[in-house]
Amino acid sequence: MADITSLCVYCGSSRRGAQSHHDAARQLGETLAANGIRLVYGGGSVGLMGIVADTVLNNGGEVVGVIPKFLEDLEVGHTDCTELHVTGNMHDRKLKMATLSDAFAILPGGLGTLDETFEILTWKQLELHDKPVVLVNVEGFWDPLTALVDAQIDANYVRAKHRSLYEVAADVADVLPTIRAMPPARFSLESKWL
C-alpha cells in the first residue's frame, strides 16, 4: 500500500475548460488539505493549477510550487505558496517536481500537461522511479489517451506490461484509494539520477 505525504498534480494552465474540470480541481485541493498531503505543482496562479493551489491553501494545506524563472517573470507565479522553488529552465522544473513528490495525479490539461505526463511515464518505463501515476478521468477526459496507448500496444510499440505504468481513477474521490491500493515506491529518482 502506497502511503503518501506529497502529491504532484499536473493540469491545465487554462480556465477555459468545462466547469466539471474546475470542480475536480477544487475537489482535489480539498482532498489534499483534508488528508494532510502536500501539493507539489508548477507554481502558477493560472488555470486549473491556480484553482488546486488556492483550494489547498484556503483549507490550511501546504503547497510547494516549482516554477522556471521565465514564467515567474511573466507574473503568472503564485505568490502565496508555502514553498516556492525557482528553476533555471523547464527540464529542471520537471525533475524537481518529480523528486519532491511521492505520487502523481493528472487532471485535464493541454500540451504541457501531456508533456509532463509522458515524461513521468517514460521515466517510470526506464525504471528511473516507480512512483504511482494516476490519470483522473473526469467525465472520460483521458479516454483518448488510454485508447492511444492501447493502440500502441496492439501495434507492438509499447509492451503490454507497461499499461500498468499508470492507473485510471474514475473521479477525484477515487484518486487516494487508487494510489493507496498501488505498491509503494521501492526506489526514487534521486538514487537513480541525481
The residue number whose beta carbon is nearest to ligand AMP equals: 112
User: Which of 20, 36, 88, 110 contacts ligand AMP by CB under 6 A?
Assistant: 110
Stretch that binds ligand AMP, among 51-59, 79-87, 108-116, 181-189 (CB under 6 A): 108-116
Q: Which of 27, 45, 55, 113 binds ligand AMP (CB under 6 A)?
A: 113
CB neighbour class for 39 (10 Å; exposed up to 12, middle 13-18, buried from 19): buried
Q: Which of 4, 13, 29, 66 binds ligand AMP (CB under 6 A)?
A: 13
Q: Looking at beta carbons only, is 28 or 182 nearer to ligand AMP?
A: 28
Which range binds ligand AMP by CB under 6 A, 23-31, 56-64, 109-117, 171-179? 109-117
SS3 139: helix
Q: To the nearest whole angstrom, how small is the minimum distance from the Cβ of residue 152 to ligand AMP?
A: 21
Q: Is 142 helix (H, G, I), strand (E, B) or coil?
A: coil
- Under rule CB under 6 A, residue 45 binds ligand AMP: no
Neighbouring C-alpha atoms within 13 Å toward the C-beta of 169: 24
Q: What is the DSSP string of 6-74?
A: EEEEE--S-S-S-HHHHHHHHHHHHHHHHTTPEEEE--BSSHHHHHHHHHHHHTT--EEEEEEHHHHHT
Report the nearest approach of ligand AMP to the CB of residue 89 (Å): 10
DSSP 110: -
Q: Which helix (H) or strand (E) holds 150?
A: helix 143-154
Binding residues vs ligand AMP (CB under 6 A): 12-14, 42, 44, 47, 71, 90, 109-113, 115-116
